[in-house]
């Protein structure tokens, strides 16, 4: 064991020295240290750093050998991508076509490859389907795709219908400049409709009022109904009034009526309009239109139309209708209608579930929460078999060296094709290393939801409980927010720029630092466990105070922002479960449910009796009493 420790220490020293030599541009010292890395699981990572910037002067055999000998890492794909980019830049098409393999996410290389295939008169179904797949995007594709689309068009495969389809995708994605550019692919007589469509987007009220041309084609009707729905984002009632006027002046069809009622109805439901239920009820629902069917239920629940809600729940697809969510609401509706005998068996069955609806059902009948912890028991043989795989060893070594980003990427590569049982063992291994966020990810992916120690680790307890005491907030709720926000990824970064365990935006972090008089760079603070939790709990307390201690509203505000949540406050008091179920944003709706359920689980994990969800969920009072300024 001592000899092995000495070997690994020497290899780690050689690894660090080789990387330092590369950064210093000292190739000779790099090669001296590379010799020390024979048999070291991260040798490929060092070689990659050497090869990636020397591809043009590296023999193809060396690159192929690297790709062949490092398949336990994601590095071959990365090096191949650079190799192909280099070959294309040099016009070395023989190498490019010989070595090409699809690089996930690199549309530019795919288009270069397809252009070469089309230049060689390859009109196979696979090539044409691949081109069409790239074409069907509402986003602007890399410039390398322009030549492919031009050849595809000259060969007669780009129809006007396909052009309009992509223009529609671009408009839906708010890629207005792309939509305008795509007009060049249309016949000259049809291009004016793109400008009219853009005018509908910019100012729908004005564009709908100044229509001075026939509405006789499918494209014309599509542009008009787009404008009507666009107007509904501002004012659904005005949009519907305009639609009725337009129908009196122009001929539309059932599909147009359905489209308008569908989207205006959903927008109206999101704004809690009294007209939403009427409009949604009038739509002829397609069998696969789950969004419409769900919003019908939400609108009926918000309006208190219990019979209508029950009817719409019954119309949901079997798998959806039988979920814990709609079983709970079937029981709630029965209970509110005085049908306790029908409600109680459903509640009793649901109370065996460990989720938001199971906990609410338990509250309705006074039952204890069913936590049902069942640990993953991995044998020493299973652990040893997986832990000694080269891909897992590489992830562990990177994690040990503190190279967390590469470690996480390597781990994802290692577990990407594991079966459920192997994922469960991988979760146990990650926990043994202290890598709790990877343990959570692996066990959740494995389909084993019952190991609460893996799914809900009690870490950073001193920090969380100290802030819970300081701000008079229960630690279970804080843990619930952390678990939902980052799943304990300390350096988590969202697309919106939120950072750290409690996913705070830099602007929120700066305000908190000023308030707490902490002299720290905001990014450093947000990536620090101690300061991120302090700033996060401080902000959680602010939104809790804003909403008079209502955890439901505070939780929603932590996710969606206080201004939005204040706009969702009802005109009359409403039960909290109805308010949560009808939150306009899907993300926030799921977020609030998860945080509340996770809070109960964490109280159990902390050795406490879980606070009833109904205690955390007081009725939501009208705007005048919401505490917002």
CB 166 within 8 A of CB 205: no
What six digits make up the tokens of 487? 């799943």
Question: How far is Cα 20 from Cα 30, in angstroms, rounded to an integer?
Answer: 8
Which residues on adjacent β-strands are paired with residue 499? 493, 504
Phi, psi of 108 (to 5 degrees): -60, -50
Distance, CA of 321 to CA of 317 (rounded, Å)? 6
What angle separates helix 461-471 from helix 529-546, to the nearest 10 degrees? 30
End-to-end CA distance of the chain: 65
Whether residue 230 contacts residue 238, with contact meaning beta carbons closer than 8 Å, is answered with no
Q: Which two tokens stand for residue 64?
A: 């192929």
What is the rounded distance in angstroms from the CA atom of residue 369 to the CA atom of residue 604?
Answer: 9
**Which SS3 state, helix, strand or coil, does residue 620 take?**
strand
For residue 18, what are the CA distances in angstroms to 24, 197, 262, 273?
Answer: 10, 58, 62, 65
If you write DSSP's letter for every residue of 480-520 in order, what string do you get? HHHHHHTTT-TT-B-TT--BTTTTB-HHHHHHHHHHHT--S
- Alpha carbon distance 561, 420 (integer Å): 37
Angle (CA) 120 121 125, round 5°: 115
H helix or E strand, kind and range, residue 523: helix 522-526
Task: Tell me how far apart the alpha carbons of residues 563 and 148 are, in angstroms, rounded to a whole number.
Answer: 47
- Give the CA-trace dihedral at 470, 473, 475, 476, to 10 degrees: 180
Query: 320 and 326 in contact (C-beta within 8 Å)?
Result: yes
Answer yes or no: are the C-beta atoms of 573 and 550 closer than 8 Å: no
- The residue annotated as part of the active site, out of 115, 422, 485, 603, is 485
Residue 485 catalytic?
A: yes
Diameter of the chain by CA atoms? 89
**CA-closest candidate to residue 334, choices 323, 322, 319, 346:** 346
Q: Which two tokens stand for residue 168?
A: 């529609």
Task: Name the CA radius of gyration of the chain, rounded.
Answer: 29
Q: Please give the positions annotated as active site.
A: 485
């Amino acid at each position: 064991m001592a000899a092995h420790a000495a070997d690994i220490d020497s290899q780690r020293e050689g690894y660090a020295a080789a990387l330092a030599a590369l950064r210093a541009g000292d190739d000779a010292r790099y090669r001296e240290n590379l010799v020390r890395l024979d048999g070291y699981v991260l040798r490929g990572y060092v070689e990659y750093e050497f090869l990636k910037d020397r591809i043009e002067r590296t023999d193809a055999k060396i690159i192929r050998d690297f790709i062949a000998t490092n398949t336990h890492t994601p590095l071959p794909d990365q090096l191949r991508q650079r190799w192909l980019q280099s070959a294309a830049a040099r016009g070395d098409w023989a190498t490019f076509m010989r070595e090409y393999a699809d690089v996930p996410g690199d549309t530019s290389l795919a288009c270069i490859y397809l252009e070469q295939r089309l230049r060689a008169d390859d009109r196979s179904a696979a090539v044409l389907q691949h081109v069409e797949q790239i074409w069907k995007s509402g986003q602007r594709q890399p410039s390398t795709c322009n030549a492919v689309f031009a050849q595809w068009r000259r060969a007669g495969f780009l129809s006007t219908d396909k052009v309009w389809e992509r223009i529609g995708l671009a408009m839906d994605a708010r890629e207005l400049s792309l939509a305008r550019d795509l007009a060049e692919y249309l016949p000259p007589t049809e291009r004016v409709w793109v400008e009219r469509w853009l005018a509908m987007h910019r100012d729908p009220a004005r564009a709908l009022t100044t229509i001075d041309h026939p509405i006789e084609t499918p494209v014309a009707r599509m542009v008009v109904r787009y404008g009507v729905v666009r107007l509904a984002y501002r004012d659904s009632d005005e949009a519907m009034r305009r639609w009725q006027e337009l129908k009196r002046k122009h001929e539309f069809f059932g599909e147009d009526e359905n489209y308008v009622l569908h989207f205006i109805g959903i927008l109206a439901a999101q704004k809690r309009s009294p007209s939403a239920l009427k409009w949604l009820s009038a739509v002829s629902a397609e069998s696969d239109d789950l969004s419409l069917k769900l919003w019908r239920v939400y609108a009926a629940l918000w309006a208190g139309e219990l019979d209508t809600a029950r009817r719409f729940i019954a119309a949901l697809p079997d798998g959806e209708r039988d979920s814990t969510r709609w079983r709970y609401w079937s029981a709630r509706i029965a209970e509110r209608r005085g049908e306790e005998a029908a409600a109680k068996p459903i509640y009793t069955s649901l109370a065996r579930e460990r989720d938001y609806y199971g906990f609410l059902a338990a509250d309705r009948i006074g039952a204890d929460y069913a936590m049902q912890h069942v640990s993953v028991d991995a044998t020493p043989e299973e652990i040893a078999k997986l832990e000694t795989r080269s891909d897992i060893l590489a992830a562990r070594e990177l994690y040990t060296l503190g190279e967390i980003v590469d470690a996480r990427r390597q781990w994802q590569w290692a577990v990407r094709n594991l079966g459920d049982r192997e994922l469960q063992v991988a979760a146990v291994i990650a926990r043994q290393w202290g890598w709790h966020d990877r343990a959570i990810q692996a066990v959740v992916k494995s389909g084993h939801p019952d190991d609460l120690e893996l799914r809900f680790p009690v870490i950073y307890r001193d920090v969380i409980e100290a802030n819970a005491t300081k701000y008079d907030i229960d630690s279970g709720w804080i843990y619930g927010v952390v678990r939902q926000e980052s799943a304990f990824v300390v350096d988590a970064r969202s697309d919106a720029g939120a950072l750290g365990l409690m996913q705070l935006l830099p602007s929120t972090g700066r305000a908190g630092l000023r308030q707490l008089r902490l002299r720290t760079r905001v990014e450093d603070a947000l990536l620090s466990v101690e300061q991120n939790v302090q700033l996060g709990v401080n902000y959680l307390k602010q939104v809790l105070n804003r909403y008079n201690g209502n955890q439901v509203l505070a939780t929603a505000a932590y996710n969606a922002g206080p201004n939005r949540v204040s706009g969702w406050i009802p005109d009359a008091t409403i039960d909290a479960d109805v308010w949560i179920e009808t939150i306009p944003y899907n993300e926030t709706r799921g977020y609030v449910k998860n945080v509340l359920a996770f809070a109960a689980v964490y109280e159990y994990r902390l050795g406490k009796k879980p606070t009833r969800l109904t205690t955390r969920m007081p009725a939501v009072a009208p705007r005048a009493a919401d505490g917002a300024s």
